[in-house]
Structure 1
Amino acid sequence: MKALYFRTLFRNMNDGIYHILSMWNEPQDYTASVVYLCGADASIPRTLSEDARFADETFPIDLLVISHLNLQYLEYVIEMLELRRVKQIIMPYMDKKQRASLLRHLEGQEQPDKLTLDSKGRTFLRDPYRYALSKGVEEFRYLMGNGPAYEGQDTIPGGYFQPLEKSADEKIWKEEDGFVPVYKAGYLIMNRWVLSFGVYQGNGYPTIVMYHGSIEDDLVEEDCVMSVKPFSYIQSCKGRIKGECDLCSLACTHRSDFDLLKGHSKKALTEYENGTLLLGNMLLPGNVERLYHRFHYVKEKVRFLSVPNCGAKENWDYRVMGFGKENNYRYYACPVNTLSDANTFRTLGTISPYIRLSMLNEYYGLCGSGFLTNRIN
């Protein structure tokens, strides 16, 4: 079947969000993989060797989004840059003083798993842009503040990131001793998928929020199927869709989550719900309205949300649960660690019967897999 296959995968981790978006447009022979990383602000007694089961996932990364750094997730960034081909990087801009402060903080952490910040990690933090270029990254963007957001079909092909004002640019160049690519948050369009970004205050440092989902849905000409399932590490759901008919998507459709398949045949349907909203380590209190304003155009397309900072009390505001259609299932992915707050989980578990809380840890992950195809096919 000729289709655009997609997979949105929350890898089974216990200390933050490791999210993979994989797309394969069979008619156009187009493949893309996006990785979104956001480490939690807690120290978890584990080692990187515990993730050896993912060692075979060495596929190239078209875009790496670093929402928020802690020590363990810095290790993942360095590993990717050393062992894989990473084409683009997006991360929040922190000036030299902020990076030096973060460096001191990470070096001073008491790590029960004995992880330490090695020379590569220190070099990256001192100058992420030039370190990335030295590893073959083709395009690098720092984000600072928010520019024009995605507004439907009124888009620029390929996407748009607004440059900073000239005075701000010159100040940064002076502080950084040369050019660094700093932009206001915007959006990218990859084939028929939009990735829209926002920068918000996190726990001490800025964090990047990212939405992704299909665009230009033609409900008359096209059909969309998307199924969702939790998985364990034994099942080994892979992050990258292979360049062949993706039977995994088809199999999941018939095994679980049949409600959405039926829902897409309703006459009242106005758009397909295949969107994912990744909230990083955003401090939601006082910022939910700003989030709604920026992502209003895709508000009802959201099917997955990540819970910021593993459900920590200071990051949570239940009003964010207004994303997504009220009477359709929505999935909240949340790693569980020492920061996780019982009241956050209680809210998610009791406010609506359509909410599905997926507790992520080193054993369990969450996968949404599907396709868009012409109805004639």
Structure 2
Amino acid sequence: MKNIEVSEYGVTPEGIVVKKFTVTNKNGMQLEVINYGGIITSLTAPDRNGQYKDVVLGFTKPEDYFTGNSYFLGAIVGRFANRIAGGKFSIEGKTYELETNNSPNHLHGGNEGFSNKIWEIEAVPNSQTIKLSYTSKDREEGYPGELKVTVLYTLTDDDALEISYEATTDKPTIVNLSQHSYFNLSGDFTELITGHELQLYADYFIPTDNTMIPTGELKNVEGTPFDFRIPKLIGKDIEIDDEQLKFGSGYDHCWVPNGKGLRSIAEVYHAETERMMEVLTDQPGVQLYCGNFLDGKYETKTGGRNERRTGLCLETQHFPDAPNQSHFPSVMLIPGEKYQSKTIYKFSVK
């Protein structure tokens, strides 16, 4: 297929060969995806000189992905993106217990969640689309029901990455899928993202307790460091004396984007390169995470280390702990219904 190339990426400790698919659009923009975790290992975007450069954090060695990707770098996260309080939830009066891998809570499907699974992978004929499929067995990581998941990555000729999710189940269960790429629009993965400008079209965010579980309130951003309705540098308020920022060690919170359906919810801008990323989604929430817990353990693709705040995530999703907070939008999926979601990351020069 002329726009999609397939190669061997690496071999897991269990001896499984992992494939890499490289998609190229008509402008020369490239997307690289492996079928381990559905991880995006590279995504290029243009700068003001028309130069395409990688803008997502990633490891330099395959084995760093295969031996416990603690940062969920570039991966599909699920069955439930974000946190579930105490690793417990109930369906029809029955309580299910999950791994508390972010003690005392459950995070991103657990240590053996979708980010660490081998997905079926194929190129969709006559397209610039990669299809990833995974069947999660009943009670995998503690979740009820056999869940069949499909994720499509499409690289469009207008320099956008479209991500479409679908899932079906044979028993009532909960589903909340997201993509966990860390963006740095400078293309230099040692540069802090505090110098990126962010606009979030959201009047409300979700405060948490000190374990990052929502209090249940939707709080107006007016007068808080969480107000990004007018574009501002991410670093402007990130260090001010604020209880919520202390809980998250910076921004690690869910915003409630205005409107419903597929709509534009955010823009990120890097002034020096003039790269712009617009985020569109049909999801009710978006988690802004500013790489507060990156610790320099791994080397970056541009030299140096993946240090604190060298990447930002905009994880489109349902609200954290939604299974335990009945006034939040439902994350229930029942047999005969289909979970569907779409998110677009669109790149341009401003």
User: TM-score, length-normalised on structure 1?
Assistant: 0.24
Q: Give the alignment's TM-score, normalised by structure 2.
A: 0.25
Structure with bigger gyration radius: 1
Instruction: Answer 1 or 2: which has greater strand percent.
Output: 2
More helix by share: 1
